[in-house]
Amino acid sequence: MTPDLMEEGARRASAYRELAKVGKTESGGRQAGFSRVMAAGEVDVAHGRILYLEDVSVSFDGFKAINKLSLDIAPGELRCIIGPNGAGKTTMMDIITGKTRPDEGTVFFGSTIDLLRFTEPEIAQMGIGRKFQKPTVFEHLTVFENLELTLKTDKGVKSSMFFRLDSAHSDRLAEVLHTIHLADSTTRLAGNLSHGQKQWLEIGMLLTQDPKLLLLDEPVAGMTDEETARTAELFLSLKGKHSLMVVEHDMSFIKTISEIVTVLCDGSVLAQGTLDQVQSDERVIEVYLGR
Ligand SMILES: Nc1ncnc2c1ncn2[C@@H]1O[C@H](COP(=O)(O)OP(=O)(O)OP(=O)(O)O)[C@@H](O)[C@H]1O
Ligand SMILES: [Mg+2]
């Protein structure tokens, strides 16, 4: 870490100590329980942030898709991101997951992992799971087989073919199947599931890897009202165990799940607060909600 960053870190740490007294993060997110005790492979969230972006910018052919974007997310938080088409929501996820490199800025996972130093697979391995809009399940495999494929094992491809589930893995799969409402559909081919069920299965395929942070881009697009309602329940059940960043245009869904909502516009944060607060913000009404 550069001396500048360390100094900035010390300043923010002191600010956080103040904010911690009222249970808030610097950006307004609520703090979930966190601890200084860390096991190997864990993320240091002692400063109350699982994700931290500061002054991030990226241009495509001279067009600034992300423009001095700063935001942070608390451990266990479910943060909703809204904003007009082209605001930079997906590009922000591309940057966090290492798909796109920013031209400048800081992106940290916890307080010690500089994500800009890692590749996309390394970032996934560290515990940042991403769900794209289109479901990408293996249609010719069953629900169970799809999930089984994603279990973390130390085995190579060849031994994976003969891999038998141990009881810890079986328990984990059963838990995930229950969470994603597919416990009664384990032997169904993924290709025969409804659109919503495929989305849940893909979320389940992320959950088997026990991600610390989940990024979900328009997860309820194309779902029926009932599927959308069950997805809201699912996300609320994941909150606290995982940190979630959810991008959605469906405002009734956002209303059901949101605590803090961040509004992106022209590549930076236009407003942030509860849904009621951002919905009554004149600038947000003008660029997004009032359309
Ligand atoms: N790889 C790229 N090359 C060129 N332009 C890009 C690239 N990725 C994104 N953009 C542009 O950056 C801007 C932000 O796009 P982005 O997809 O992040 O918006 P978004 O907020 O996710 O919008 P939506 O709500 O429609 O999904 C858009 O103008 C888009 O055309
Ligand atoms: Mg998008």
**Best probe residue, ligand 1, of 91, 101, 262 (max atoms within 8 Å of C-beta):** 91
* pTM given for the model: 0.84
Predicted confidence (pLDDT) per residue in 191-207, tens digit: 999 999 999 999 999 99
**Best probe residue, ligand 1, of 56, 57, 59, 60 (max atoms within 8 Å of C-beta):** 60
3-state secondary structure the chain: CCHHHHHHHHHHHHHHHHHHHCCECCCCCECCCCCCCCCCCCCCCCCCCCEEEEEEEEEECCEEEEEEEEEEECCCCEEEEECCCCCCHHHHHHHHCCCCCCCEEEEEECCCEEHHHCCHHHHHHHCEEEECCCCCCCCCCEHHHHHHHCCCCCCCHHHHHCCCCCHHHHHHHHHHHHHCCCHHHCCCEHHHCCHHHHHHHHHHHHHCCCCCEEEEECCCCCCCHHHHHHHHHHHHHHECCEEEEEECCCHHHHHHHCCCEEEEECCEEEEEECHHHHHCCHHHHHHHHCC
pLDDT digit of tens for each residue in the chain (291 aa)? 444 444 444 444 344 334 333 334 444 443 433 333 444 467 888 888 999 999 999 999 999 999 999 999 999 999 999 999 999 999 999 999 999 999 999 999 999 999 999 999 999 999 999 998 788 899 999 999 999 998 865 555 545 555 566 778 888 899 999 999 999 999 999 999 999 999 999 999 999 999 999 999 999 999 999 999 999 999 999 999 999 999 999 999 999 999 999 999 999 999 999 999 999 999 999 998 875
| Å from CA of 155 to ligand 2 middle | 36
Residue nearest to atom 12 of ligand 1 (CA): 65
pLDDT recorded at residue 80: 98
| Å from CA of 221 to ligand 2 middle | 11
